[in-house]
Chain A
């Protein structure tokens, strides 16, 4: 009796929660197998570098990544000199100096990623009143995470016949509500990858999703590694404590 009720209850909980989470998000996202999802998963450095290139050459025109500094790019496999060179491509405002004036200087590794717009108002003014969101945490801030980012990038198509589009918006089959302000950002061969990978829309979408996941969860590899060690330790500890418990209790049973 109690097992029946409990299993019915659990089935109800699982059965009711799971489909509803998908129903509210519209079309189911294609599930990809990411190199970082498995318990021992790590980031694919080549994909991260390609993803950073997509961000730098495409997304960064409108989207900031205010939580990242150029020095963080060493995680992607760039050495110190390369990071310095990447940072030096940007001019940032510093100051005030001894004369009380703000001045421009090349960015250094300790600077945060330079934002495309000086402030939210400027971002709104340049984008029909809707400021493009910061991408630092995007891979954790949407249901589906990297799957969602990849799906959104490849989800642009013509609106089905009879679908009432609002002017200035674009149809995307994976976007909740299907009408998104951002026009399709990724074009085939819109970037040229240094490692010779063919820059299809799908490839770029995957790479940028990899990069954004790293940006949102930069300590993931350390976390996975430590988790394995801690769990192994706790397994052994549990066994030892269980044996000790049996031994101590042997005169009670």
Chain B
């Protein structure tokens, strides 16, 4: 149905380019399940943080100098001399962490409610690619201030590629633009750090397009049947998302204004020095679980393969999970394993922050094994042997008070 309006300008544009119809379908009349919980707020929150990062990033680039001899002081110039530069830089720095916080909630919500299952596999794939690009972008951004952790983080991460047989060393030379991390490295990472967010924007558009093909999943995980199961996105979910944004920004502001360096490392306030290695080289918190998996494998190549496999395995999850029931609400066994898996991911994060010695090596290895066992063993087996609880016949029926009491939970 085309968008109706009496406004002449809108009509004139609409006749030539039906953009109002497109927007109306996307965020206006788009029918959303009426039972979405607050766990469904994190998609719009992630989208908001992407915009925040791009806007603050563009302003930062107006004052930043991508050269090894000037990068560190140009960031301090932003912090001290640029009007509200400290605010823009701290928003960007903490915004990265809050972008990941939103995305992690978003991913685990998808895992709990089976949002990756048919017919939403491609939607899930696009999400994984966005997540991969986010990690690459965040890593490159962390290098730009050219502090000690920037420099040594860049050295460690780029060195991973040297594990690739035969061509590894050449790839690393290509990444560095020389024979060590230096000015050419900083310049190419800067260029890519500016490029990738716009590719992420493109993928987000595809992500939303794929979402709107079959609509949002919901806490019950059952398909919507008729108009009684849905409500128009506007005003119901626009106002709910706006409320979520206000609360999220409130939490963000507490860190931004009162603990802006909480997520950072003190070492990154020391200018990069290739002759002095920091005592502990740790990546940013959102990469720690993968760093733990990387270090759990005694062979370098094996570690790199396993680290990438830890993310790539998400691509086959729609087929590894053999249950046809989406929501963990009706899957008593899977539900337990979901929380164990989440706890295991947090544990991997802790291991990633520790020096790889003593008991941490063993814990890291066990947690790594469990991470993969969850996908490769537990998900298929639970799907086969679990007896799911009976599903409600429709969303509308389930959310009515009487039916909800009968469905339990």
The chain B residue with its CB closest to the CB of A222 is: B86
Q: Which listed residue, A17, A72, A176, A230, touches B257 by the CB 8 Å rule?
A: A230
Known: A1-B339, A248-B235. A141 touches B261 (CB 8 A): no
Interface check A244, CB cutoff 8 A: yes
Cα–Cα distance between A9 and B350 once the two chains are bound (Å): 10
B257 touches A231 (CB 8 A): yes
A20 touches B354 (CB 8 A): yes
List residues of A (67-100) whose CB comes within 8 Å of B's CBs.
67, 72
List residues of A (210-253) whose CB comes within 8 Å of B's CBs.
216, 218-219, 222-224, 226-228, 230-231, 234-235, 237-238, 241-242, 244-245, 248-249, 252
Interface check B203, CB cutoff 8 A: no
Interface check A198, CB cutoff 8 A: no
Known: A234-B246, A234-B249. A141 touches B266 (CB 8 A): yes
Residues of A within 8 A of B231 (CB): 252
Cα–Cα distance between A245 and B249 once the two chains are bound (Å): 17
Cα–Cα distance between A242 and B244 once the two chains are bound (Å): 9
* Inter-chain CB contacts under 8 Å: number: 115
Task: Pick from B116-124, B183-191, B341-349, B375-383 the stretch touching chain A.
Answer: B341-349
Interface check A8, CB cutoff 8 A: yes
Residues of B within 8 A of A16 (CB): 350, 354
The chain B residue with its CB closest to the CB of A4 is: B339
B258 touches A241 (CB 8 A): no
Cα–Cα distance between A59 and B267 once the two chains are bound (Å): 22
Cβ of B228 to closest chain A Cβ, rounded Å? 11
Residues of B within 8 A of A216 (CB): 269
B346 touches A9 (CB 8 A): yes
Interface 1/0s, chain B 241-260, versus A by CB < 8 A? 01100110110011011101
Cβ of A15 to closest chain B Cβ, rounded Å? 9
Known: A223-B260, A231-B253. A140 touches B346 (CB 8 A): no
5 further interface pairs, Cβ-Cβ under 8 Å (given A2-B336, A5-B340) = A6-B342, A13-B349, A20-B354, A143-B266, A219-B80
Please list the residues of chain A having a beta carbon within 8 angstroms of any beta carbon in chain B: 1-2, 5-6, 8-10, 12-13, 16-17, 20, 24, 39, 67, 72, 133, 136-137, 140-143, 145, 176, 216, 218-219, 222-224, 226-228, 230-231, 234-235, 237-238, 241-242, 244-245, 248-249, 252
5 cross-chain pairs, A with B, having the tightest CB-CB distances, nearest first: A227-B257, A9-B343, A141-B269, A241-B243, A2-B339
A-B contact pairs, 19 of them (CB 8 A): A5-B336, A5-B340, A5-B343, A6-B339, A12-B343, A16-B354, A137-B76, A141-B266, A141-B267, A227-B256, A234-B246, A238-B243, A238-B247, A241-B239, A241-B242, A241-B243, A245-B239, A248-B235, A252-B236
